[in-house]
Amino acid sequence: MSQVNNAIWNYFTKLPEVTVNSDTKKKTYKSSCNQCQAVLTCCHGSTSGMNQAKAYIKAKKDKVVQSAADREEVEKELDRSSSLRGFFPATTTSKKRLDNLSKKSPPSSQQGDHEKLQVTLDEYVKITKWDSQSSCQLDFDTVLTLACIMSNLPFNIVETLGMKLLLNYLAPKAIIKTPKTLATTKLDMIHCNVEKAITNQLEEEVPECQSVAFTSDGWTAKNGDPFESLTLHYINSDFELKKYSLDCQAHLNRKTGPLLAKGLDTMISKYEVLARPDLKRTCVNDGAVNMKAAVSLATLLDKQLVCVDHMLNNCLKDTLGNGEVKIIVDKCKRLAQRTHQSTKDWYEIKQESESLGCNPIKLIQSVQTRWNSNAMLFKSVLRNEQGLKSVRDNSLNANLTILIPSDEDFQVIAELHPFLAKCQEYSEIWSSDKTPTVHKIQQHLFSLITMCHRTVTQNTSGSRIAKDAMTRFIEYLETRIPDKGTEVNDFNLASVFDPFYRGYSITLIKGNKDHRWNNRPTGR
């Protein structure tokens, strides 16, 4: 009979008595339970005997759990059901599981030279897994799925050793479902529940609103499938800014205006409270021709606004993508790409910068779809300026030195970077989805135009390339946002109600200082 070394035998004692059947000559062994002194007829240390020992412990499970529930430690553990393990019933006493698991049992005759982890009888009973359809297991599955979604983590993270260690410690009774189960069954269930919750919230709050706003976005996945989403924005009766993603659909047809308009109407009509006739609906788009046509053709949209953040970044894209400044930008992009592809070249720049007492940083690559990445690229180039110049003048690596900007190029970068950094600051403010920012648009536009004019007219020693770039930016901005936004009534109204400036930027832009109610900025 095979012998099995298992920690469960630590709670049973092998008895010396051996009974031999006179007819079959079969030997019968016995073991005594260390807890209740009960005698089991089994071979101590064998596989079959271990099964009998397990059956005996499970038969005593109710009694053990009941006695444990009477202890004050367990009562305290159950009361803290909203803490670290609070999503699930308490599974451990105040005696820490890791402390128990870290203890080694002394070697026994059955174990030989191998040391086994010491596990208490209560612990063995408590790690019995939940039923797959029990409320505790379903709650665990929901929380685990939500954790992956809210942290933007792949579902296959639950199969990693570190995550299994954490989950088994926090909820040892839980069954860790496969990534496929989480990504299909559990994710679909959560999506349906969230959709119902949003519908109930809209039916409660939107009837009190006179107008709402929508933002629509389209993109193409890595596999080439195009998608379109719709997001709702409104202010409820408690003056709270609310934002909900209403729908996201695959858009397999061509992205023409009529087809996009049909898709927008379909997504809005799913919610009856948003399709009521007396509700004013405004849609903010990115200014693309097909999106403008779609909003105009949609029957459930009354008005459209072009996203100022999109227009600003399109102006910057055209500014840095034309003229002599484009040569400098392209050179910086190739330099950053080179340092990311060649560890040797980056190490040479890093070592040279450190020898000059500088603190080098990795060059940031500019990405076309990433707003303000050129500002971050210029900032990283300027931070490494001394090391780059030293490598350019002293290194024998011609493939690297040819990509490093000249002194005139560094001057252009240094003059353009403050302007690009200011654009990045305003862009991040405008794109905030937690607070209203429309009242800041005119002030920021006026500030950018003023900054460009001062650089062009007052900086006599400035670079001609930088001045040309800022001049083009003013032209591009005036084309997209005429008169610094004063042609848009929504911007004017928001600027008037600004808590600090109260429309002062309008008077500066228009050159009219006769209005007493907005002739100067006021304190809060």
Tokens 């030989």 locate to: 112
Q: What is the pLDDT of residue 126?
A: 55
pLDDT at 511: 57
Strands 211-220, 280-285: pairing is parallel
Write down the pLDDT at residue 522. 36
416's CB contacts (< 8 A; 6+ apart) are: 325, 378, 466, 469, 470
Which are the contacts of 304, defined by CB distance < 8 A and separation ≥ 6? 282, 283, 284, 285, 292, 295, 296
φ, ψ of residue 234 to 5 degrees: the values are -160, 165
Q: How far apart are CA 260 and CA 249, in angstroms?
A: 11
Residue keyed to tokens 């698991």 = 101
- At CA 90, angle to CA 84 and CA 95, rounded to 5? 85
Helix (H) / strand (E) element for 243: namely strand 241-250
CA distances from 114 to 3, 110, 319, 488, 498 (A): 14, 9, 73, 80, 75
pLDDT recorded at residue 6? 59
The pLDDT of residue 85: 43
Between CA 95 and CA 98 the distance in angstroms is 9
Query: Rounded to an integer, what distance in angstroms lies between the CA atom of residue 503 and that of residue 496?
Result: 4
Q: What is the mean pLDDT of each run of 10 residues along the chain (524 residues)?
A: 56 73 70 73 66 70 50 46 41 43 43 45 64 90 93 92 91 91 91 91 93 85 81 90 88 80 90 92 87 90 89 92 93 93 92 90 86 92 93 90 93 94 92 81 89 87 90 92 80 79 67 41 35
